Every structure is written in C-alpha cells, then in structure tokens.
Amino acid sequence: MNPFENALEQLARAAAVAPVDTDLLARLQHPEREVRVAIPVRMDDGSERIFEGYRVQHSSLRGPYKGGIRYHPDADIHEVKALALWMTMKCAVANIPMGGGKGGITVDPKQLSKSELESLSRGWVRALAPILGPRVDVPAPDLNTTGEIMGWMVDEYNKITGDKTGAGFTGKPLKMGGSEGRVLATGLGGFFTFDALRKKFGIKEGASIAVQGMGNVGGNAAKIFSQYGYRIIAMSDSRSGIFKEGRLDVDTVLAYKNTNASLKGFPGARGISNEELLEVPVDVLIPAALENQITASNAGRVKARMILELANGPTTPEADDILFRRGIPVVPDILANSGGVIVSTFEWEQNLKRQQWSEKKVLEKLKKIIVAQSGIVFERSQALRTDLRRAAFLVALGRLETALKKH
Ligand code: NAD
C-alpha cells in the first residue's frame, strides 16, 4: 500500500464525480520538488551515522509550502509525497493562504539520545535551509516531532540565514514565538469538525468514542472529547490498547502511560490489540496514529457509526468504498485534522506581524474556519451524492483551480 498511490487514487476518484481542470490535475500528480538529503550525525559513542531526510514541496499555487516533518523508521519518499499532496488539499479546504509540503527522516527517535536527536534535527535544517524560509516553505511538527524539536530547528535556521521573524517554522514553544493554542489545535479542530457534522449523522451528545494513538493528536482529542461529555471507551498506543464498557478516565490513562511507557496492565480495563480497537462497538472511531489502518481486510468489521480521521491517510480507497456502502460516514483527514495547520498559519502570521494573539482569539478564529468549511464540504457531498472525502477534495480542487487561473 504505497500512500502516494492512494493519494493519487483519491484525487482521481474526486475528479470522476465532477469536472476538474485537466491541467490542474496534471500539476497535482507531480510534486513541484522532491529532495532527499544525507544527514551525518556524530553519535554519543563517537561514531558517525548517516540518516536519510526528505522534503517534498508539492504545490505553491495558493501560497508558501506548508507541512510537518515526520520522524519514523518507515518514513520514505513515497509517504512524504502523499503527506505533501494531502497538505495541499488540506490548506485549500481550510481556505488558508498556504500550499502543501511535507518532510521526514527515516529514524526511530526512541533509539537516539537527546543530544543525537538535536544534532539530527539541526542537520536536517542545514541540509535543506536553501529551499526553506518564511515566504517559501514553512515546516511544522508531525509524528514524533515536538515543540522542542521545532525550537532547535528554527534556531538553526535563524543562525544560518539571519532571519529574525521566527516565521520559518511553526509549532514552536511559546517562548520561541509559538502560538497560544497550537498544541491543542489538531485535536480541538477535530472536535469542532465533529460537532459541526454529528447531528447530520444522528450522533448524540455523550456518544461513545474509541481513539487509536495517544500522541499530540490522539491524546489531546481524547481529553477534549471527554471534557465535552463524550465517553472514551477505548484507547491505544503503538504497542497495545485498552477497552472499558462504561468509560475510561482519560487523565488517569494518560498518566499511567507516562509512568509505565505503555498501557499494558492498566487496571479495571480489558487489554486489546490495536487491530481490535478498530473493530470495537462504538459510536465514533478516531484513528489518530498512522496511515493504512482501515483497509479492505477490516473495513467490513468496523462497528463504528462514524469515523473521524485525525491521522493522515488512515483509510485506504478500497476501505472507503466498503464503508460508504455500509453507510458509515468518514470525515476525511484533510478536513478533520486541519486544525493544526490552521493554527500554524496563525503562528506564522503573528510572527510576521510581530503580534501575540490570546488563546481565546486563536481558538475562536479556528472554530469559525472549521465550522464554515465543514458546512461547505457537507453541502457539496449532499449536492453530488458522494462521500465527504470526494466532496472535500472537490472543494479544494475548486480553490486550486482559481489559483491556477491567476498564475
Ligand atoms: P505523535 O508522535 O505525537 O503520536 C503518535 C501516537 O501514535 C503515539 O501515541 C504512538 O504510540 C501512536 N502509534 C504509533 N504507531 C502506532 C500504531 N501502529 N498503532 C497505534 N498507535 C500507534 O504524533 P501526532 O502528532 O499525534 O500525529 C498522529 C497523526 O496525526 C499522524 O498521522 C499525523 O500525520 C497526524 N497529524 C498531526 C498533526 C499535528 O499537529 N501534530 C496535524 C495533523 C495531522
């Protein structure tokens, strides 16, 4: 399952539902630039190791390239290309003035010491600085990259280029020019999307929720949904999961994972595998970890009444078809997890204007965008009698077509 092929397939499927400019489609099938770099790192034992890093600049039709950097042993150029294409679509669905890009390093960060991780992160910036910049390409965090890592990166970038705006990277710590609300943004944006759409699919307040992934996105989403009165009944991390019929206390689960590094042995809940988590009887399933989790082989067994994609690319095109036939709506990643890039764009704007907005202002602006765009995507899906993913792609494609005509 090559994620870039899946992304192209999604593009083709949307274009089969309504007319799309063929020049635009050809542009989007070919990232504007793909770069692979070798990053030498002096390890703590004195040896040198070379890591492979990537940046894919997919489309600048609507603004500077924007997208996170992923650290993962399975990260490769195909995955980064897919993620970059989705960023182009996501920024267009959110209607923010950004294009799409993505970066990565093939590495298991858990195997590195903190100083090795810092050298690697600074090395990625040194290798790619000539093609980055506040008006050119603005990276952010993704899987296994944190505010602290963004802090090292922006510091390295500023040293190399003399940039004083700090707008070259987003998702930075507050004291380094980060924005209020950025840490919560993806999970909270997911909640706003869900809340704008749930009634249309008959999901009631207090419904049950299962969350795969407990990082920035999944952990915060679980907290936010439970604060709004929803019942979290299943959670998982990369190693294992837990299920409890009534509800899990999310803060206790997160604290347990922090202390024990895993959910194994969590008292008062049944241990389940990650695969089982996707098939538990639940109102809303939230994949918030990796791509290709819901596939042709398990989509028939999903019991959720609605899927809210907070990870990028968790559902394959074949699984989309099965779920559509079964009447299970999938709120697509390019809409549901756009909160992160929306608040990243607010951070970029604050840096360029030398402003610092309050958390209240940031979250109100976020909510306004997400609620409006969720409504537009839903209406388009109704008008075309198609699923929300095709509808979201078509909303994005319409905006990209307008940009292409202006170029
Ligand atoms: P993270 O590194 O903070 O957390 C990832 C979580 O997923 C961890 O809890 C990890 O244990 C878990 N995980 C890893 N492999 C797993 C597996 N095989 N099964 C179940 N769980 C697994 O990363 P994140 O920033 O929370 O990103 C999660 C997803 O959300 C990714 O798909 C990312 O691209 C997407 N996303 C992130 C942001 C953001 O702002 N951070 C924005 C939009 C989308």
What is the structure's pLDDT at 395?
98
CA of 385 from ligand 1 middle (Å) equals 31
For residues 192 and 339, the answer to whether their CB atoms sit within 8 Å is yes
Q: What is the mean pLDDT of residues 382-399?
A: 98
Angstrom distance (rounded) from CA 57 to CA 55: 6
Could you tell me if the CB of 91 is within 6 A of ligand 1? Answer: no
CA of 384 from ligand 1 middle (Å) equals 32
* pLDDT tens string 100-116: 999 999 999 999 999 99
From atom 37 of ligand 1, which residue's Cα is the shortest distance away?
A: 142
What is the structure's pLDDT at 286?
98
Could you tell me if the CB of 212 is within 6 A of ligand 1? Answer: yes
Could you tell me if the CB of 237 is within 6 A of ligand 1? Answer: yes
- Angle (nearest 5°) at CA 190 between 332 and 262: 100
Angstrom distance (rounded) from CA 140 to CA 70: 9
Q: How confident is the model at residue 386 (pLDDT cuts 50, 70, 90)?
A: very high
Q: How confident is the model at residue 313 (pLDDT cuts 50, 70, 90)?
A: very high
Q: Residue 29 has which token pair? A: 């099938």
C-alpha R_g of the chain: 20
Q: Which of 49, 39, 70, 40 is nearest to 340 (CA)?
A: 70
What is the structure's pLDDT at 193?
98
Answering whether pTM is above 0.95, one says yes
Q: Residue 52 has which token pair? A: 């492979």
Estimate to the nearest angstrom the gap between the alpha carbon of 132 and the chain centroid. 20
Could you tell me if the CB of 312 is within 6 A of ligand 1? Answer: yes
The minimum-distance atom of ligand 1 relative to the CA of 140 is 40
102: annotated active-site residue: yes
The minimum-distance atom of ligand 1 relative to the CA of 314 is 32
Angstrom distance (rounded) from CA 286 to CA 210: 6
For residues 249 and 259, the answer to whether their CB atoms sit within 8 Å is no
What is the structure's pLDDT at 407?
83
What is the structure's pLDDT at 74?
96
* φ and ψ at residue 233, rounded to 5 degrees: -110, -15
What is the structure's pLDDT at 181?
97
What is the structure's pLDDT at 14?
97
Probe target for ligand 1 pocket from 217, 242, 335, with the most ligand atoms within 8 Å of CB? 217
* pLDDT tens string 337-374: 999 999 999 999 999 999 999 999 999 999 999 999 99
Return the percentage of the chain with pLDDT > 90, whole number.
99
Angstrom distance (rounded) from CA 77 to CA 82: 9
Q: Residue 113 has which token pair? A: 């010491």
From atom 36 of ligand 1, which residue's Cα is the shortest distance away?
A: 311
> What mean pLDDT is reported for the chain?
97
For residues 2 and 317, the answer to whether their CB atoms sit within 8 Å is no
* pLDDT tens string 67-109: 999 999 999 999 999 999 999 999 999 999 999 999 999 999 9
From atom 35 of ligand 1, which residue's Cα is the shortest distance away?
A: 311
Angstrom distance (rounded) from CA 44 to CA 333: 39
For residues 341 and 189, the answer to whether their CB atoms sit within 8 Å is no
Could you tell me if the CB of 240 is within 6 A of ligand 1? Answer: no
* pLDDT tens string 192-220: 999 999 999 999 999 999 999 999 999 99
Could you tell me if the CB of 317 is within 6 A of ligand 1? Answer: no
Q: For every residue of the chain, which 3-state class applies, written as one string?
A: CCHHHHHHHHHHHHHCCCCCCHHHHHHHHCCCEEEEEEEEEECCCCCEEEEEEEEEEEECCCCCEEEEEEEECCCCHHHHHHHHHHHHHHHHHHCCCCCEEEEEEECCHHHCCHHHHHHHHHHHHHHHHHHCECCCEEEEECCCCCHHHHHHHHHHHHHHHCCCCCCCCCCCCHHHCCCCCHHHHHHHHHHHHHHHHHHHHCCCCCCEEEEECCCHHHHHHHHHHHHCCCEEEEEECCCCEEECCCCCCHHHHHHHHHHHCCCCCCCCCEEECHHHHCCCCCCEEEECCCCCCECCCCHHHCCCCEEECCCCCCECHHHHHHHHHCCCCEECHHHHCCHHHHHHHHHHHHHHHCCCCCHHHHHHHHHHHHHHHHHHHHHHHHHHCCCHHHHHHHHHHHHHHHHHHHC
From atom 29 of ligand 1, which residue's Cα is the shortest distance away?
A: 311
Residue 37's beta-bridge partner residues? Answer: 53
Could you tell me if the CB of 345 is within 6 A of ligand 1? Answer: no
Q: How confident is the model at residue 1 (pLDDT cuts 50, 70, 90)?
A: confident
Residues 6+ apart with CB under 8 A from 288: 211, 212, 213, 215, 217, 218, 221, 310, 311
CA quadruple 331, 334, 335, 339: dihedral, nearest 10: 130
Could you tell me if the CB of 276 is within 6 A of ligand 1? Answer: no
* pLDDT tens string 241-297: 999 999 999 999 999 999 999 999 999 999 999 999 999 999 999 999 999 999 999
Q: What is the mean pLDDT of residues 49-77?
A: 98
Angstrom distance (rounded) from CA 59 to CA 57: 6
Q: Which residue has the tokens 């994005």?
A: 396
Angstrom distance (rounded) from CA 403 to CA 251: 45
Angstrom distance (rounded) from CA 370 to CA 193: 6
CA of 191 from ligand 1 middle (Å) equals 16
